[in-house]
């Protein structure tokens, strides 16, 4: 029997989504909870994709293949009862046998939160930038990355192992009080890609990098984006889209600063 799980997590304490030896991960904690509930290791749990250490999720998706008589709402309740407070299963639903959380996803969106002021309660969820930021310049920079582009300067992945090209469908910048919100939506993302894009956008917003220099990183390999990588604290996996899903329009901050 196959189930689709939608979940949220606060990633500060975790070494990302994907199970790892000698490291605590979100997937690892959910697998531990499922062992307790199902009384067996004979099940499979696959996520829609990995998130880096310290990155959060508003709506990660996974699929579970398991033999159980538990109804979806009971399964959700029992999993949550066995999880720490910073991981929460939002929904469990039966899904057709061919559904795959990763391979059936058609796009993903990430939300990044930059704070313009020092905050006592939001440190885990924002990147505080002391310098003045020009949001219009950041929008102009974001527009450079739209479309099918080569992101080899924006990833720690090995270009000999996978394609460096990705299709970005939306980069949106909004101001909400003392926050600057950035949404990046695309077909898929390389390792550290969103955080490097945000880091470059912020550097242009500071006035320390030009849009022309930012554009050049797409055509000539550069180590500069790696040095500008935004911290994981401000990054959220916002939504995973499947065929027929409605694309989010409004962008909502997770906190008030």
Q: What would the mean pLDDT of 46-51 be, rounded to a whole number?
A: 95
- Model pLDDT, residue 99: 98
pLDDT digit string, tens, across residues 3-17: 999 999 999 999 999
Tell me the C-alpha distance between 188 and 9, whole Å.
20
Q: Which residues are catalytic?
A: 52
* DSSP codes joined into one string, 120-168: SS-GGG-EE--S---HHHHHHHHHHT-EEEE-GGG--S-TTTS--EEEE
Q: Do residues 21 and 201 touch, judged by C-beta distance below 8 A?
A: no
Position 219 pLDDT exceeds 90: yes
- Model pLDDT, residue 257: 87
Q: What would the mean pLDDT of 222-232 be, rounded to a whole number?
A: 97
* Beta strands 105-115; 235-242: pairing state: antiparallel
Where is 75: in which H helix or E strand? helix 72-81
pLDDT digit string, tens, across residues 196-217: 999 999 999 999 999 999 999 9
Hey, is 79 helix, strand or coil? helix
pLDDT digit string, tens, across residues 125-156: 999 999 999 999 999 999 999 999 999 999 98
Where is pLDDT greater, at 163 or 56? Answer: 56
213 CB burial (10 A radius; 0-12, 13-18, 19+): middle
Q: How many residues does the chain have?
A: 257
pLDDT digit string, tens, across residues 66-122: 999 999 999 999 999 999 999 999 999 999 999 999 999 999 999 999 999 999 999
pLDDT digit string, tens, across residues 172-197: 999 999 999 999 999 999 999 999 99
Q: What would the mean pLDDT of 154-163 be, rounded to a whole number?
A: 81
Residue 243 phi/psi, 5° resolution? -50, 130
The CB density around residue 236, as the number of other CB atoms within 10 Å, is: 25
Q: Confidence class of residue 20 from pLDDT cuts 50, 70 and 90?
A: very high
Position 2 pLDDT exceeds 80: yes
The CA-CA-CA angle for residues 93, 99, 102, to 5°, reads 105
- Model pLDDT, residue 192: 93
pLDDT digit string, tens, across residues 242-253: 999 999 988 889
Tell me the C-alpha distance between 102 and 100, whole Å.
6
User: Which are the contacts of 39, defined by CB distance < 8 A and separation ≥ 6?
Assistant: none
Where is pLDDT greater, at 242 or 256? Answer: 242
Tell me the C-alpha distance between 68 and 45, whole Å.
14
* DSSP codes joined into one string, 27-50: HHHHHHHHHHHHSSS--EEEESS-
What are the chain's domains? 2-94 (3.30.70.580), 106-242 (3.30.70.660)
Tell me the C-alpha distance between 168 and 157, whole Å.
18
CA torsion sign, 254 to 255 to 256 to 257? negative
Helices (H) and strands (E) in the chain, counts: 6, 10
Position 158 pLDDT exceeds 90: no
Q: Do residues 188 and 49 touch, judged by C-beta distance below 8 A?
A: yes
């Amino acid at each position: 029997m196959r189930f689709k799980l939608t979940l949220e997590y606060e990633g500060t304490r975790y070494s990302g989504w994907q199970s790892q030896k000698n490291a605590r991960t979100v997937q690892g904690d959910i697998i531990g909870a499922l062992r307790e509930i199902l009384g067996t290791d004979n099940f499979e749990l696959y996520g829609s994709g990995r998130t880096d250490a310290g990155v959060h999720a508003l709506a990660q998706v996974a699929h579970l293949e398991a033999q159980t008589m538990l109804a979806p709402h009971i399964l959700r309740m029992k999993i949550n009862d066995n999880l720490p407070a910073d991981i929460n299963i939002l929904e469990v639903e039966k899904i057709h046998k061919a559904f795959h959380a990763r391979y059936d996803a058609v796009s993903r969106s990430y939300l990044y939160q930059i704070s313009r002021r020092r905050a006592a309660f939001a440190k885990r969820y924002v990147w505080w930038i002391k310098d003045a930021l020009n949001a219009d310049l950041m929008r102009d920079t974001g527009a450079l990355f739209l479309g099918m582009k080569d992101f080899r300067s924006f990833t720690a992945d090995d270009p000999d192992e996978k394609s460096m090209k990705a299709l970005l469908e939306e980069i949106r910048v909004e101001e909400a009080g003392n926050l600057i919100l950035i949404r990046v939506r695309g077909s898929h993302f390389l390792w550290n890609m969103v955080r490097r894009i945000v880091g470059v956008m912020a550097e242009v917003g500071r006035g320390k990098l030009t849009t022309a220099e930012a554009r050049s990183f797409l055509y000539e390999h550069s180590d500069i984006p790696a040095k500008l990588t935004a911290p994981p604290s401000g990054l959220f996996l916002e939504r995973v889209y499947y065929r027929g899903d409605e694309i989010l329009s409004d962008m909502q901050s997770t906190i008030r600063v």
